[in-house]
């Protein structure tokens, strides 16, 4: 992703003008596009949906001069087409960072468990309870537990899944740092 290009007020105004000549309607369209891009990336289990949505919008804005002369189609569809490419780049970038498979045997099980307990203790109470409850039980009991947890929080199952994943990713990073410190 090109992090060098910066969205200026002038380019943002040009984007809004391209979306709609009426400024209020253009602002609403912009917000709707950004919200839907974030939702799309979140549904695809992206860790940074807001960043990818912003990158998508920046790329469209950067190409506005070319788009306005060439493109006659749906403007929203253009954002999704660019967003698809941004997501593919994100996946290629993320592949080497995949965590090791669960169940690998380690010689430091006690140390890993101690680090996990320490990292869990650092989490806010609501996050700690969510992640512990989310990963407890097996099979049908796990499914029922997750449904109940989502209902109690008043969120959809997918939103619960995303929250649990983000907490787990933070825990994994914390445990890895802890292990690095203790094994040195």
Same domain, 91 and 152: no
Distance between CA atoms of residues 171 and 117, nearest Å: 10
Q: What is the pLDDT of residues 50-96, one digit of tens each?
A: 889 988 999 999 888 887 766 667 788 889 999 999 999 888 886 55
What's 114's domain CATH number? Answer: 1.10.10
Distance between CA atoms of residues 75 and 14, nearest Å: 14
Question: Does 2 reside within a domain?
Answer: no
Question: Does 74 reside within a domain?
Answer: yes
Q: What is the pLDDT of residues 24-41, one digit of tens each?
A: 998 899 999 999 999 998
Distance between CA atoms of residues 167 and 173, nearest Å: 10
Question: Does 49 reside within a domain?
Answer: yes
Same domain, 75 and 14: yes
Residue at a domain's end among 66, 97, 128: 97
Of 8-12, 18-22, 106-110, 128-132, where does mean pLDDT reach its minimum? 106-110
Same domain, 93 and 166: no
Question: Does 1 reside within a domain?
Answer: no
- Residue 81 C-alpha from the chain's centroid: 19
Q: Confirm if 76 and 33 have CB atoms less than 8 A apart.
A: yes
Percent of the chain with pLDDT over 70: 88
Same domain, 61 and 128: no
Q: Confirm if 165 and 45 have CB atoms less than 8 A apart.
A: yes
Question: Does 3 reside within a domain?
Answer: no
Question: Does 80 reside within a domain?
Answer: yes
Residue 166 φ then ψ, to 5°: -65, -40
Same domain, 118 and 83: no
Same domain, 115 and 178: yes
Distance between CA atoms of residues 95 and 97, nearest Å: 5
Q: Confirm if 149 and 134 have CB atoms less than 8 A apart.
A: yes
Q: What is the pLDDT of residues 66-76, one digit of tens each?
A: 877 666 677 88
Same domain, 13 and 92: yes
Same domain, 21 and 91: yes
Q: What is the pLDDT of residues 109-145, one digit of tens each?
A: 888 889 999 999 999 999 999 999 998 888 888 888 8
Q: Which residues lie below 8 Å from residue 53, measured CB to CB, with a gap of 6+?
A: 34, 37, 38, 41, 83
Average pLDDT, the chain: 85
Q: Confirm if 172 and 99 have CB atoms less than 8 A apart.
A: yes
Domain count, the chain: 2
Same domain, 91 and 118: no
| Residue 64, domain extent | 9-97
For residue 136, give the nearest of 149, 119, 155, 123 by alpha carbon.
Answer: 149
Residue at a domain's end among 97, 117, 138: 97
Same domain, 34 and 91: yes
For residue 53, give the nearest of 120, 7, 116 by alpha carbon.
Answer: 7
């Amino acid at each position: 992703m090109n992090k060098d290009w910066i969205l200026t007020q002038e380019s943002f105004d040009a984007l809004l003008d391209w979306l709609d000549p009426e400024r209020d309607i253009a602002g609403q369209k912009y917000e709707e596009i950004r919200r839907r891009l974030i939702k799309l990336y979140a549904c695809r289990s992206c860790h940074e949906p807001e960043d990818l949505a912003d990158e998508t919008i920046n790329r469209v804005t950067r190409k506005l001069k070319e788009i306005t002369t060439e493109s006659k189609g749906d403007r929203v569809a253009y954002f999704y087409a660019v967003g698809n490419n941004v997501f593919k780049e994100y996946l290629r970038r993320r592949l080497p960072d995949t965590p090791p498979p669960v169940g690998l045997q380690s010689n430091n099980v006690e140390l890993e468990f101690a680090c996990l307990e320490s990292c869990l203790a650092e989490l806010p109470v609501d996050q700690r309870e969510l992640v512990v409850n989310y990963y407890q039980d097996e099979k049908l009991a796990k499914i029922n537990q997750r449904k109940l947890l989502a209902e109690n929080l008043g969120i959809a199952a997918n939103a619960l899944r995303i929250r649990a994943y983000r907490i787990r990713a933070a825990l994994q990073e914390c445990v890895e740092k802890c292990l690095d410190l203790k094994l040195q």
